[in-house]
A and B are shown apart, each in its own frame.
Chain A
């Protein structure tokens, strides 16, 4: 048979015709496009029954009520809980992103011990006995006071347990990260003689003067303030914002008073002066409740006449008087202080100057006014038992002890002690109240040749990121021989730890929650676990209880509960049953039984605002942080969704952008988008320039919440040597899982980590002589083109 070209032609044509007339090409065309519609690497979430689980968000002290939407029991979305007293359905962007914290790539999957450059997986028991062993060793040597703990706050039962642990061991070294709430508490103690927290009834006030607060930028209880701000707009209640930069709050305000930075207190006293001289203050209240009012009146009239104040602040005297008149005439005027989000303590005397305005109107403990909320001890702890060595060690003062000196005018120099928080995990009843500061702690460690702290426990805080002069804090942490982190994430501090005992994230655990953040409400709530723990983590309460048990002796005897939930039930008393059922208990605010007194002598003791670090010659500009709600700047880093909302004028690629006025830019010789170097006495950083008309010339503003490190350096060795992965808690409920990024074998969060500059590496702490706490709100700086 001869096969020629015709045969081939026939073969080809025949095949083509045969295929064309069969369904194959047509079906394949259709199917290949359907394949592209269902790519196996694009996930397909499984449908099912929808349920809602209500709980309380604990990402920030705002504590909003949230509803977690679930499909087949799998949490898919977080929404604000309608009708909840704090937020009534509203929710902030971090709260919505809550589920991203569950699966954060930097989450620590299991307990780990640092071994040179690597991390080794250990069991919970191994980890606990390792830490307990160290503590026992120190205790045996009589060095129990060298055990310290830094916690995010001292509110609630979990913080109580950690404090109780430190106390049981025999140490006073329990520290919390100080916020404006602490300063307000100290102020109330000094001015009104009350053991109470401050609260502001912003939703009902008809005239608010805010001294640099980020009223709608995360200050106080963020969502509650958003609601208050909108209700304010509806009620045509006025907001006056005193700030050197057109922040979102300033933009939302009716009157923006751009006072020079650092002169806010003077402006407040200027308004006081205007009110007193025009006889616009609540004379009846000042006379009946006030002590030393006359001295204060004389003081402000002499030193803070509006004309004088106008010169220092740069705010027109007529404007000062006008605001004073409006403020005085308002039905429920309110003055608030606490810069930015109020995440640092701030200056006590500055707060005092602002609070003088509230005291002049007498709008205290009334609707729409300033409230003193007595601190309730709703938890009943069994008293702490200490053995001899613990008692001995406990007598030693804390490493970070500070004294606060207030020159209270006529009455001369005096020392007053601040309150050790009422929600103590079992302080001894010696009544000794010692003030300490976490910034001071690290300062002392750094200054000492050998660290006075031998063992540091870090719970619910990230001091290596959030404290001013973070680099120095890191040095101090490195100096401490043994550091135990309870962080769920490989954050800036956990990276420096020797042992990590990873705890649950907020959605995975139950805890008691108390209204705070200066909200004029009384709410106690139970935040419930709404998600199965994703990794081999423990409830922080259980973690410390098991550590106490491993420590044995008197320490263990103070922790007789089997689990945290048993502990919570027993110490909460009657509230527990109600909370388990209702979720929260809200009660009306009630004024204190005793009539309010005001000691005006403190206000008259105002001298100067906290001056900034650095000399004006080498550092001609002022560097201040910008607080924005879109970036978390406290213990937790922002979740990917929140980072996505950050404008390209704040963060671009991996660079922080700083705001400066075009006028300043001209002088310095930089332009929009340029690279520049900021230098302060603390450090320097490369940034990019963003020109903004709304900022006062002479100021550089830098966003907070950036500059997190990426995560763990060094390899992680699992027990069985298998690559680190594995979600232990939940079963996979997604049919197709292809689009997952490769596990790096490292605990890195590249969505926020490694981006931008940490403000705290440019700004150092400044001790407020009045409170002993850190009152830094900026630093002197210079900037030059890079």
Chain B
């Protein structure tokens, strides 16, 4: 039915099957859109956020999607700047994921603010001292870059490509992509960092506060590093997911292993830095403010020391070991465990840096604040996931996302 649009020679499921799948996800999407509409029309009272929990599920989702979308800038950086050419076989996917993640993040921010019509004040009346300003500028700029990076892929659609103008445009854009990738990497480094800075600069919140370099707290660097380290994990998770669903091999093992190896080493270095940071924070930063570490992990029903263990050991050391050791990395099951743990680890880190920050009492007579999101919050958080699934499915169906697909199919 839509065969004219499908990349040449690629095998895709019958259109009705595809359409049904999209419709199911679309229903979820609509549910999210409905919740989003409620939040815009009736206000943020639709959420379970409160004055103690000004930042909640959405901001976590925002930080998490940006972290896992970090695969785009890092893979781009490796391919275009460091010239690791094998990665061209996975860069398209990384870009699509990045695009989805960043557009979702922007959407979430637009829902999250109390006065969406005034959202542009962040640019127009910017306070340069605010990490959020930095986030907004870099985020939107990098989103533009991602759009530019995404366009050539769209232009490669079989039908569009037939138009000479688009064909040439696509070709020329590929030529200059290195510049965009470099710009993107730079911008991305900054806003990943500034997202880390968002929590790190809060010197009124001993749980989040970190010292740092110049105006940037250590979390700034840790966030950038962790996004670079864990982003590829998510790219790989999505690849594996696609391969599982389509029951096809889409990316060659050497590419996967290369990215996994790079990610592994990045995680290793990151987790070492994170451990050092944690120890310094436990030993110096927090005690200076009158807190012992266990103050942050006791007297409440949820946040125990387990969360620190889960983040550092399960989400850090374990994937680091698996991905750096060749034997483990090449074991398909272990690799899968490692990349999933990696994604879990970075998401947990973002959770801790948003929700636990809000939960920990600071005044000696204050109490822990725990919160459960409302359905509207859950729906609007799922909304980008549904949107992502739809967009990535469309991209997979109609665009040559996996350049090795044909080759792998043929060899099979």
- Chain A interface (Cβ within 8 Å of chain B)? 29, 32-33, 35-37
In the assembled complex, the Cα of A750 lies from the Cα of B120 at a distance in Å of 39
In the assembled complex, the Cα of A37 lies from the Cα of B114 at a distance in Å of 12
A29-B120, A33-B115 known; 9 new pairs, CB 8 Å cut-off, are A32-B117, A33-B118, A33-B120, A33-B121, A35-B117, A36-B115, A36-B117, A36-B118, A37-B118
CB of B76 to closest CB in A, whole Å: 30
For A35, the chain B residues whose CB sits under 8 A away are 117
In the assembled complex, the Cα of A29 lies from the Cα of B118 at a distance in Å of 9
CB of B380 to closest CB in A, whole Å: 20
Which A-chain residue is minimally distant from B116 (CB atoms)? A36
In the assembled complex, the Cα of A32 lies from the Cα of B119 at a distance in Å of 11
In the assembled complex, the Cα of A29 lies from the Cα of B115 at a distance in Å of 13
- Fill in one digit per residue for B110-131: 1 if any A CB lies within 8 Å of its CB, else 0: 0000010110110000000000
In the assembled complex, the Cα of A36 lies from the Cα of B41 at a distance in Å of 12
Within 8 A of A (CB), among B329-355: none
Enumerate the 8 nearest inter-chain pairs by beta-carbon distance, A residue then B residue, closest first: A36-B117, A33-B118, A32-B117, A33-B117, A36-B115, A36-B118, A29-B120, A35-B117
In the assembled complex, the Cα of A413 lies from the Cα of B117 at a distance in Å of 83
In the assembled complex, the Cα of A32 lies from the Cα of B121 at a distance in Å of 12
CB of A555 to closest CB in B, whole Å: 57
For B121, the chain A residues whose CB sits under 8 A away are 33
For A29, the chain B residues whose CB sits under 8 A away are 120
- Chain B interface (Cβ within 8 Å of chain A)? 115, 117-118, 120-121
In the assembled complex, the Cα of A32 lies from the Cα of B118 at a distance in Å of 8
6 interchain pairs, CB-CB under 8 A: A33-B115, A33-B117, A33-B118, A33-B121, A36-B117, A37-B118
For B115, the chain A residues whose CB sits under 8 A away are 33, 36
Which A-chain residue is minimally distant from B119 (CB atoms)? A33
In the assembled complex, the Cα of A35 lies from the Cα of B120 at a distance in Å of 14
In the assembled complex, the Cα of A276 lies from the Cα of B86 at a distance in Å of 103
CB of A466 to closest CB in B, whole Å: 35
Which A-chain residue is minimally distant from B117 (CB atoms)? A36
In the assembled complex, the Cα of A33 lies from the Cα of B122 at a distance in Å of 13
For A33, the chain B residues whose CB sits under 8 A away are 115, 117-118, 120-121
For B120, the chain A residues whose CB sits under 8 A away are 29, 33
CB of B327 to closest CB in A, whole Å: 54
Which A-chain residue is minimally distant from B121 (CB atoms)? A33
Which B-chain residue is minimally distant from A36 (CB atoms)? B117
Which A-chain residue is minimally distant from B115 (CB atoms)? A36
CB of A419 to closest CB in B, whole Å: 50
In the assembled complex, the Cα of A36 lies from the Cα of B118 at a distance in Å of 8
CB of B93 to closest CB in A, whole Å: 31
For B118, the chain A residues whose CB sits under 8 A away are 33, 36-37
In the assembled complex, the Cα of A36 lies from the Cα of B115 at a distance in Å of 7
For A37, the chain B residues whose CB sits under 8 A away are 118
For A32, the chain B residues whose CB sits under 8 A away are 117
In the assembled complex, the Cα of A36 lies from the Cα of B121 at a distance in Å of 13
CB of B115 to closest CB in A, whole Å: 5
Which B-chain residue is minimally distant from A37 (CB atoms)? B118
In the assembled complex, the Cα of A531 lies from the Cα of B121 at a distance in Å of 43
In the assembled complex, the Cα of A64 lies from the Cα of B121 at a distance in Å of 48
In the assembled complex, the Cα of A659 lies from the Cα of B335 at a distance in Å of 57
In the assembled complex, the Cα of A32 lies from the Cα of B117 at a distance in Å of 7
In the assembled complex, the Cα of A35 lies from the Cα of B115 at a distance in Å of 11
CB of B377 to closest CB in A, whole Å: 21
In the assembled complex, the Cα of A530 lies from the Cα of B187 at a distance in Å of 64
Taking each of B115, B117, B120, which has the highest tally of chain A beta carbons within 10 Å of its own beta carbon?
B117
In the assembled complex, the Cα of A35 lies from the Cα of B117 at a distance in Å of 9
CB of A522 to closest CB in B, whole Å: 44
For B117, the chain A residues whose CB sits under 8 A away are 32-33, 35-36
CB of B60 to closest CB in A, whole Å: 27
In the assembled complex, the Cα of A580 lies from the Cα of B115 at a distance in Å of 52
CB of A672 to closest CB in B, whole Å: 12
CB of B30 to closest CB in A, whole Å: 26
CB of B45 to closest CB in A, whole Å: 14
In the assembled complex, the Cα of A33 lies from the Cα of B120 at a distance in Å of 9
In the assembled complex, the Cα of A32 lies from the Cα of B97 at a distance in Å of 33
In the assembled complex, the Cα of A36 lies from the Cα of B43 at a distance in Å of 12
In the assembled complex, the Cα of A695 lies from the Cα of B121 at a distance in Å of 53
CB of A48 to closest CB in B, whole Å: 30
CB of A40 to closest CB in B, whole Å: 14
In the assembled complex, the Cα of A33 lies from the Cα of B121 at a distance in Å of 9
In the assembled complex, the Cα of A387 lies from the Cα of B292 at a distance in Å of 86
In the assembled complex, the Cα of A624 lies from the Cα of B120 at a distance in Å of 58
CB of A644 to closest CB in B, whole Å: 14
In the assembled complex, the Cα of A37 lies from the Cα of B121 at a distance in Å of 13
Taking each of A29, A32, A33, A36, which has the highest tally of chain B beta carbons within 10 Å of its own beta carbon?
A33
In the assembled complex, the Cα of A33 lies from the Cα of B117 at a distance in Å of 5
CB of B277 to closest CB in A, whole Å: 37
In the assembled complex, the Cα of A35 lies from the Cα of B116 at a distance in Å of 12
CB of A528 to closest CB in B, whole Å: 41
CB of B25 to closest CB in A, whole Å: 30
In the assembled complex, the Cα of A37 lies from the Cα of B125 at a distance in Å of 15
In the assembled complex, the Cα of A36 lies from the Cα of B117 at a distance in Å of 7
In the assembled complex, the Cα of A535 lies from the Cα of B115 at a distance in Å of 38
In the assembled complex, the Cα of A330 lies from the Cα of B120 at a distance in Å of 70
Which A-chain residue is minimally distant from B120 (CB atoms)? A29
Which B-chain residue is minimally distant from A31 (CB atoms)? B117
CB of B110 to closest CB in A, whole Å: 14
CB of B167 to closest CB in A, whole Å: 17
For A36, the chain B residues whose CB sits under 8 A away are 115, 117-118
CB of A738 to closest CB in B, whole Å: 14
CB of A719 to closest CB in B, whole Å: 37
CB of B113 to closest CB in A, whole Å: 11
In the assembled complex, the Cα of A145 lies from the Cα of B118 at a distance in Å of 71
CB of B114 to closest CB in A, whole Å: 10
In the assembled complex, the Cα of A36 lies from the Cα of B120 at a distance in Å of 13
CB of B40 to closest CB in A, whole Å: 12
In the assembled complex, the Cα of A727 lies from the Cα of B118 at a distance in Å of 36
CB of B399 to closest CB in A, whole Å: 21
CB of A505 to closest CB in B, whole Å: 32
In the assembled complex, the Cα of A36 lies from the Cα of B116 at a distance in Å of 9
CB of A747 to closest CB in B, whole Å: 27
CB of A24 to closest CB in B, whole Å: 16
Which A-chain residue is minimally distant from B114 (CB atoms)? A36
Which B-chain residue is minimally distant from A35 (CB atoms)? B117
In the assembled complex, the Cα of A536 lies from the Cα of B238 at a distance in Å of 72
In the assembled complex, the Cα of A29 lies from the Cα of B121 at a distance in Å of 11
In the assembled complex, the Cα of A29 lies from the Cα of B123 at a distance in Å of 13
CB of A27 to closest CB in B, whole Å: 13
Which B-chain residue is minimally distant from A32 (CB atoms)? B117
In the assembled complex, the Cα of A461 lies from the Cα of B117 at a distance in Å of 51
In the assembled complex, the Cα of A166 lies from the Cα of B120 at a distance in Å of 71
